[in-house]
């Protein structure tokens, strides 16, 4: 057999107090700023509402929507018990459950905001530093391994051709998408940024062949064999003036 709630409990649950922050600071029960008090329940049955703080009446209204707006600075700092006594049209009264809030001083608000904001900004800065570090290491490793004429894999994002040095390189996941124009990305070879699109395998193969042809022409003009890194460096130096 289900136990029925007592009349007192049923009556208490009929109306509830709502404390709403209109403007200001709020972190759980710790608040400061502009607030509004209203009661939730059958408004058409309400004759008047008496709002109370720590058991003492602070405002009474008999006009719908039975709202009380105030600033927390009007009252003393610290913990306060808020409630409302609802007088119904039949003359009966209902007291809402207590809402407990801690009104902060200006100094306490400033300290609380610093404790919330500084760790968040610190985490963001740390994540950015890690991202930049990883990007630098990956780019540095990629630029050493992608020597001129060497075979390369362009991955799932495909390859791009740098408009500055003309060399093909795999597009990076950290590049910024610029609508349909392409991706703002950094060349693994010359290190310059440009908005680039994914190129077809035929275009990439042609760029690789042009790279090898340029190296062969450089070797013939120099008249002596060079290692790949030295040839790459000279090719990059020459591309600055193209």
**Which pLDDT tens digit goes with each residue over 78-124?**
999 999 999 999 999 999 999 999 999 888 877 666 666 555 555 55
Alpha-carbon gap, residue 83 to 85, rounded angstroms? 7
Whether 230 has a pLDDT exceeding 90, the answer reads no
Average pLDDT on 181-201 reads 89
- The domains of the chain are located at 7-107, 142-239
Contact 104, 112 (CB under 8 A): yes
Span 43-77, pLDDT tens digits: 999 999 999 999 999 999 999 999 999 999 999 99
Three-state SS at 65: coil
Residue 24 predicted with pLDDT over 80: yes
* Measured distance CA(104)–CA(80) in Å, rounded: 11
For residues 49 and 95, give the distance between their C-alpha atoms in angstroms, rounded to a whole number: 10
Tell me if 188 sits within 8 A of 144, measured CB to CB: no
In this prediction, residue 12 carries a pLDDT of 45
Q: Out of 37-41, 131-135, 195-199, which region has the weakest mean confidence (pLDDT)?
A: 131-135
User: Cα–Cα distance between 220 and 113 in angstroms, integer?
Assistant: 68
Give the ranges where 146-179 is alpha helix by DSSP (H).
Answer: none
6 has a pLDDT exceeding 50: no
Q: Which two tokens stand for residue 127?
A: 């994540």
Tell me if the domain spanning 7-107 has CATH number 3.40.50.300. no
Choice between 103 and 125, residue whose per-residue pLDDT is larger: 103
Give the E-state strand segments of 12-158 in sequence order: 16-27, 30-40, 46-53, 56-61, 68-71, 78-88, 93-95, 99-103
Q: Where are the alpha helices (DSSP H) in the chain?
A: 7-12, 106-145, 201-222, 228-239
């Amino acid at each position: 057999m289900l136990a029925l709630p007592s009349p007192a409990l049923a009556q208490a649950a009929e109306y509830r107090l709502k404390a709403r922050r209109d403007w200001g600071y709020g972190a759980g029960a710790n608040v400061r700023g502009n607030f509004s008090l209203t009661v939730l329940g059958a408004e058409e049955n309400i004759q008047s509402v008496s709002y109370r703080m720590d058991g003492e009446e602070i405002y009474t209204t008999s006009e719908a929507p039975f709202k009380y707006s105030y600033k927390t600075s009007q009252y003393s700092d610290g913990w306060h018990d808020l409630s409302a006594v609802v007088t119904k049209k039949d003359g009966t009264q209902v007291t809402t459950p207590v809402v407990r809030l801690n009104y902060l001083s200006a100094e306490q608000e400033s300290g609380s905001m610093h404790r919330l904001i500084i760790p968040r900004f610190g985490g963001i800065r740390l994540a950015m530093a890690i991202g930049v570090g990883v990007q630098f290491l990956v780019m540095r490793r990629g630029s050493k391994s992608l020597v001129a004429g060497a075979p390369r894999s362009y991955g799932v994002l495909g390859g791009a051709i740098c408009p500055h040095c003309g060399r093909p390189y795999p597009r990076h996941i950290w590049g910024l998408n610029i609508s349909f124009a392409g991706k703002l990305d950094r060349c693994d070879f010359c290190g310059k940024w440009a908005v680039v699109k994914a190129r077809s395998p035929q275009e990439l193969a042609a760029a690789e062949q042009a790279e090898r042809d340029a190296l062969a022409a450089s070797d013939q003009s120099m008249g002596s064999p060079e290692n790949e890194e030295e040839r790459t460096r000279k090719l990059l130096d020459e591309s600055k003036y193209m």
